Structures are given as structure tokens and as C-alpha cells.
Amino acid sequence: MSERTFKYVGTRPIRHDGVDKVTGRANYGADLSLPDMLHGVLVRSPYAHARIVAIDTTAAEALPGVKAVITGKDIPETRAKLPLGEGAIDLHDVSDNMIARRKVLYEGHTVAAVAATTLDIARQAASLINVTYERLEPVLSIDRAIAPDASILHEDMRTKGVPNASKPSNIAMRMEGKRGDVDRGFAEADVVIEREVRTPTVHQGYIEPHACVARFGEDGRAIVWCTTQGPFAVRDQCAAILGMDAAHVKVIPSEIGGGFGGKIVVYLEPLALALARNAQRPVKMVMNRDEVFRATGPTSATKIRVKLGAKRDGTFVAASASLYYEAGAYRGSPAGAGMMCALAPYRIPNFFLEAFDVVVNKPKVAAYRAPGSPMVSFAVESVVDEIARELKLDPIDVRIRNAAVEGDLAPYGPAYGPIGLKTMLEQAREHPHWKAPLGPNQGRGVACGFWFNAGMNSSATVTLNMDGSAAVVTGNPDIGGTRAAQALMVAEELSIPVERVRPGVGDTDSSGMTDLTGGSRVCYATGMAVIGAAQDVREQLRARAAKTWNVNVDAVRWDGGFAIPPEHTANAQPLGVAELAAKMAHTGGPIVGRASLYAPMAGPGFGVHICDLEVDPETGQSRVVRYTAFQDVGKAVHPSYVEGQMQGGVAQGIGWALNEEYIYNADGVMENPGFLDYRMPVASDLPMIETVIVEVANPLHPYGVRGVGEVPIVPPLGAVANAMRDVTGIRFTELPLSPPRVLAAITERNRETVGV
């Protein structure tokens, strides 16, 4: 696409919502209270796997102040499916995950809900509900789940993708993809490396817990206020689960204190609505941190085996991989996305991939920032590093030799358009970080990462005010700075200062249907709708100018925020936005621009990361001392937000690599459900993360934008692990690289070295 010069896009204005957030005026999920409001509390299973024999709610219902009690039998069962995010979800599973009916499938699984006049009464009532369980063997790992004698979570589950699968299985699905002749490719390889790696269950770690308030009116219409990544998704899930007409459910999104994919599926909202319907009073429900960890969707633990073959010059000739992803208690892991991403950065003529979706007695997984990709990237990038070491080649040079470029076929089918992977690798090779000397006990690693990015449905409305200012409204909750980016787009199209554009997030009644905030789609897809709506305003302004001059609209040009009259038009001077806006009442009334679209899959995103790691050989404690992230973003609409997305993804990836994991005992009870024991990195744990923005325009977007939010979490697992290999000489194949694990490996290596 031709190079475009921008006036506002690419600048760094102060965020429009900044003052409200730093002063505490912004309203988050738990901030709303309504008159006569009740408080809801959930009863959760203490067991990871058990049949529900009976539930006695009599004592709870008799407690003064209790206004409603529900169990699974009060929620109708549904078999509906709903498009959501980058795929479809089975609402029966969502509903059963929300409140168990016949079996509990993880510790923390909800079995009942109570609404009472105070939170203390609600908690007391919850403690009075007596549940009789028949305990079953918990299945807590992939290896146990796929064993022939494993306890079966779902008796009606057959493995999809396996012909004539007749027996119940914990493998929900098998998928495969292939190209070329893998056996011949490996036969032609001069070096073949094979590794099996494992990654743990980890949580998104959003700071704000799930919260909602639900009100059910006498007319059968309902309103839900909640913290969510997708108000339309909440509306449709609530309506389908409760058997309501979606037209009778309105969802108002609050500000959102983080989501990263974890605030898409509903956990509280339908239950709060059901309680409110029974009690005929508003109901508020707020999770505590313990509940967030035990009973919302983390991402999958995985077991991944990768085999890679290369020529002596480092050219990859063949690859194979088997990917096992835990889905949690219900099918739906990101195994398919992992298979799409596994080999995406590289040209490999012969490959075979298979992926398995495996259910276990843990919480049903949810999306987590590039769902499925970081784990398989860790596996592949570890093997690429081993190939480079075996051949004594520079690890960046090996990646450059094999990097995917425009025209190459992605492993999942289509040809890549313009992409910046090779450019980034070349920049990384020349960057001062790659050439800087290392200190004592320090090592350096590099890794690539990929995410395909999403498109989907988006709508936008731009309203022009009579003073020439504008307001833009979309249905996307703002997680990563999308309000500021959308204001910049309106400013660019109308040539008005960005400070005069007021961006807002609408509810499901006041904004056009818009898919969720996720999949790195908002600045790309909703951005296109915003641009379209602003252009609609601009075209209406041209028409108003033409009417003023009594000329044909096709003769009126738009240039730099002005309608330009045809030459030789008597008494006609260019008219700016403010002048035309002031004439609205006399030239046709208010001007409102609208646009809606279904965007194709966005331009694919790639990143390259360099990590320097320092390890204390006496304790196994490690510390990231320098980190540089390169990313092709297409076009950085608001560079500060792009840098923040990159740094945030790196921080989460480092935590995943070094410390974070769910720890379960033998009964399937989580032992670290809090930030004290679930060790997420804080600012003092991290260096200043350097960012290098690369802009290779995405031809699918009028500004060249491609999604940026998910790619940054993909390379850190591999980059950190490769740095650990560089400093210790040990190839770790299981995350996290926690001090006890690293120290044990160092101790074992030292013991073998001295022959003890």
C-alpha cells in the first residue's frame, strides 16, 4: 500500500480516560450499588471429582434475610452453541460449568447460589446448604487423563476427529495438519533434534476480580452491569442459558481492570439474573481472589513433543509435533490455535502436526492472550535453539535463514501478505543488545512468536457536535487503550484535534453489535468501523457544503479538514468542520456517521525477543537483567499504548516462564490460590523492557494496522528458557524455571561432573 502521511495517528496524546482512573472516579465492576440490592454468594465443591447425590437448601432458605436460593435444577439445560471470540462455544458446557447439575468436575465448582439482604447473611446461608457427594478419582494430568484405566469425566464424550470412536474418552478432540513428505524430509536432514516439554496451568492474573449487578424487571426485561470483555457476548450467553429473549437483556459494561481473555465467558451473570428474577430485587455478586483462582478459566497445562530436522547450513527440512492441551473440566482448549501457531514463523516444506484437547479435573480453561501459542512456541523455539547449538550457528542467523516471508504459505493454509519477521530478525542481529557483553552467571536467549489475529463484527457511531467537536461510540470495552486509538482515527479523518473527540464505550442497546475485545481485533476491526463512520461524517459534510454552494456534491473536494468548492464558484470559500457543524441546523439537521462490518482475519503478527538472564548457582534464583522486544505492528496508532502492550505481554510471559503455576495436591485441591503464593512478577522483579516497533503495513487496513496485544506474550517462554540454557548449560523442558527446579538441575549436573 502507498505510504500515507498522518497528522494525528502515530502521536501520543494523553489518554482520554486517564484522569478518571487516576482519581478513582472510574467505575469498575464492583463499584455499582442499587437501592434495595441483595448480595449473592456461591456454594462451591470441596472436591475435584464427585457425583452430586443430594442438595438440601432447607436451612438456608429458612434463614431470616435470605430472599432466593438456586441450584442447578433451577437453570434450564441448553444445547445451543454461540459464536464467541475466535470460535464457537457450547452453552451447555458454559452453563454446567457455571453451576453443576449431576457431577462436580473441579474443586471450586459451583453447586448453589444464595441472595440475601447482607453479605454476612448470604455467607451464613451458603454455609447451611448441605451437599451430599459421592467422591470419584480426580484426573489431574494429561498423562493420567489419557491412560487406559483413567476415570472418565463425561460418559457421553467420544473423541471428535477419530473415526468410529465408540468408547468414552477424556480426549475430546484430535486434529491434524500436514504438508509434504515428512519421512523423506527427516531422511534428508543432517541433524534431527527431538524434545518433549511441559508447561503448567497458569492464570491471566487480572487485578480486578469478576463482578456484576443484575436487575430483573416486572416486565420481564433484565439489565446486567458487569466487568467484561464483550457485553454482547454476555447478553447472548445470559439469554440462551436462562431461556430468555436476547432483546430483553441489556448489558452495560463497566471499566475493566484487566481480562486478557479471562473475562469473555460468564461465571456470575446468569446466576445473578436468576437470583434477581426469583427475589424480584437487584443482586450483586463479587468474587474474591480465592474464587478467581479456583473457579475461573486459567489457560491450559500442556505436554508437547517437537521434532525438527535441518541441513548443515541450518535450513529446516522437516518437523513433526504432538500437542496435548488440558481443557479443564470441559472441552475447548486452545489446542487448535496452538497447532496453527506452532511452525508459523518458519518455512518448513515437510511437516506433520497433531493436537489433542484433553479434559481433566481442573477449572474449564479460558482464553489467555494468544491462547495456545506461548506453550508451543516454547517447545519449538527450544528445539530451534538446540539445532543452532548442534550446528554451531548463530541462533538469529538460523532463524533468518528459515523465516517466513511474504508469499510463503502459513502452516494453516493461506499465503502470508507483507510481514516483518525477517526485518525484525535482521534488526535484532544488529541491535546493541545482541552485541552487548554478558556479565558473570548471565546468559542470552532469543525466540520468535506468532499470532494470527482476528477480525469479526464491529460497529461504530461518530456524532458531530455543533461546535465542531465529535463523539465516537463502539461496543468494545477498553482494555488496551482503544478509546485513545479510536479518537485518533476520528481526528485523522476529520482533521480536528484529538482532544476534541470524546470516545466512549456503549452498552448493548446504545451501540451496534460488536464482537468482544480480544483476538487483537479492536484497533484493527473496530478501528475500520470507526474510520468508516468518520468518513461517513465527512461525506455528509461535503454534501452540506455542496448544498450551501448549490453545486453537485461530486464537485466538492475534501482536503485537510476543509470542504473545497469547485473553481470559479461565486462567493465560495473553503468551509472547515467547525463552520459546517455550526450550519447543521439550517442545512439538514444533526450529522451522525455510522459504519458496521465483518472484518476478515487480520494481518498476522510476529515478534522477536532477546532476553538476558542472570542465575545464582547457589540458590537457583534467576533474574531477567535485560529484555528487548521487537514487533511488527503494521502501524502504531498510539505508540505509547503499543509499547505498553508489548511490555505487558513480556511481563506476563516472564512470570509464566520463571514462577507461575497452579499447584494441586493429590486430591485436586489448589494450594496456592492467592497472589502471595501464586508468584506473579511485580515491577521490582523486572528490568525496563526495551521495545522496538517495526511497521510493515497491513494491506487489509486503511492505515496498515495489525493487532498488537497478543504477540508479545508468545516469545518470552522460549527466550527465557534459551537464556537459561545459555547460562547453565542445562536444557530445561518443564516450566516454570523456579529456584527449586533450577537448583536441583544445577546440583545434579555438578554431581555428574565430579562423578559422585
Strands (E), 167-315: 171-179, 191-199, 211-216, 222-226, 249-253, 283-286, 302-310
Q: For residue 473, what is the enclosing H or E element?
A: strand 470-474
Residues 6 or more apart whose Cβ sits within 8 Å of residue 370: 337, 341, 449, 451, 710, 711, 713, 714
User: Is residue 84 pLDDT above 80, yes or no?
Assistant: no
User: Is residue 3 pLDDT above 80, yes or no?
Assistant: no
How confident is the model over 702-735, as pLDDT tens digits?
999 999 999 999 999 999 999 999 999 999 999 9
Q: Return the minimum-mean-pLDDT range out of 45-54, 288-297, 567-576.
A: 567-576
Q: How far apart are CA 505 and CA 498, in angstroms?
A: 17
Q: Within 13 A of 561's CA, how many CA atoms are on the CB side?
A: 17
User: Is residue 385 pLDDT above 90, yes or no?
Assistant: yes
Q: What is the pLDDT confidence band of residue 600, given thresholds at 50, 70 and 90?
A: confident
User: Is residue 755 pLDDT above 80, yes or no?
Assistant: no
Q: What angle do CA 44, 45, 48 make, to 5 degrees?
A: 135
Range 222-248 average pLDDT: 97
Q: Which cell numbers hold the place of 16? A: 482520554
Q: Which cell numbers hold the place of 295? A: 473457579
Range 85-103 average pLDDT: 88
Q: How far apart are CA 206 and CA 29, in angstroms?
A: 13
Name the 3-class secondary structure at 335: helix
Question: Cα 597 to the chain's mean position, in Å?
Answer: 22
How confident is the model over 273-283, as pLDDT tens digits?
999 999 999 99
Q: What is the pLDDT confidence band of residue 87, given thresholds at 50, 70 and 90?
A: low
Residue 602: the pLDDT is: 79
Domain ranges of the chain: 18-24+455-599, 32-136+207-258+263-295, 302-453+601-754
Residue 85: the pLDDT is: 59
What share of the chain has pLDDT > 70, as a percent?
A: 99
Q: How far is CA 73 from CA 131, 135, 271, in A?
A: 14, 20, 12
Pairing of strands 130-135, 50-56: antiparallel
Q: What is the pLDDT confidence band of residue 195, given thresholds at 50, 70 and 90?
A: very high
Domain 302-453+601-754 grouped into CATH 3.30.365.10: yes
The owner of cell 541491535 is: 431
Q: How far apart are CA 424 and CA 695, in angstroms?
A: 10
Q: What is the mean pLDDT of the chain?
A: 96
For residue 565, the 8-state DSSP code is P
Pairing of strands 110-116, 38-44: antiparallel
How confident is the model over 514-565, as pLDDT tens digits?
999 999 999 999 999 999 999 999 999 999 999 999 999 999 999 999 999 9
In the chain, what is the greatest distance between 2 CA atoms, to the nearest angstrom?
100
CATH level 2 (architecture), domain 18-24+455-599: 2-Layer Sandwich (3.30)
Residues 6 or more apart whose Cβ sits within 8 Å of residue 383: 193, 194, 195, 306, 307, 308
Q: Decide: 441 and 458 in contact? Cβ < 8 Å.
A: no
User: Is residue 257 pLDDT above 70, yes or no?
Assistant: yes
Range 674-679 average pLDDT: 96
pTM greater than the 0.85 cutoff = yes
Residue 409: the pLDDT is: 97
Q: For residue 444, what is the enclosing H or E element?
A: strand 442-451
Q: What is the pLDDT confidence band of residue 255, given thresholds at 50, 70 and 90?
A: very high
How confident is the model over 413-436, as pLDDT tens digits?
999 999 999 999 999 999 999 999
Q: How far apart are CA 454 and CA 482, in angstroms?
A: 16
User: Is residue 86 pLDDT above 70, yes or no?
Assistant: no
Q: Return phi, psi of residue 40, to 5°.
A: -105, 140
591-599: strand order across its sheet: 501-505, 470-474, 456-464, 591-599
Same fold, 18-24+455-599 and 32-136+207-258+263-295: no
Q: How far apart are CA 265 and CA 95, in angstroms?
A: 10
Q: What is the pLDDT confidence band of residue 569, given thresholds at 50, 70 and 90?
A: confident
Residue 194: the pLDDT is: 98
User: Is residue 1 pLDDT above 70, yes or no?
Assistant: no
Range 500-504 average pLDDT: 98
- The fold of the 32-136+207-258+263-295 domain, in CATH, is Aldehyde Oxidoreductase; domain 3 (3.90.1170)
Q: What is the pLDDT confidence band of residue 648, given thresholds at 50, 70 and 90?
A: very high
Rounded to a whole number of angstroms, the CA Rg of the chain reads 27
How confident is the model over 453-466, as pLDDT tens digits?
999 999 999 999 99
Residue 565: the pLDDT is: 96
User: Is residue 83 pLDDT above 80, yes or no?
Assistant: no
Residue 756: the pLDDT is: 54
Range 594-599 average pLDDT: 97
Q: What is the pLDDT confidence band of residue 213, given thresholds at 50, 70 and 90?
A: very high
The owner of cell 460488536 is: 514
